Amino acid sequence: MRLAASMVLVLFLFAASAAAQSADDAGVRAVIEQYFKGHATGSPDEMRRAFLPTAHIEGIREDKFVSWTLEEYCKGFSGKPAADEGSRKRTIDSMDVSGTAAMAKATLVHGQRTFTDYFVLLKVDGQWKIANKVYSARPTAN
Exposed (0-12), middle (13-18) or buried (19+): which is 28, by Cβ within 10 Å? buried
H or E element that contains 131: strand 127-139
* Number of folded domains that form the chain: 1
Q: What is the CATH number of the domain that holds 26?
A: 3.10.450.50
Domain hosting residue 109, numbered range: 2-139
Q: What is the pTM of this model?
A: 0.84
Q: What pLDDT, in 10s, does the model give residues 110-122?
A: 999 999 999 999 9
* Partners of 65 in the β-ladder: 60
Q: What pLDDT, in 10s, does the model give residues 61-72?
A: 889 999 999 999
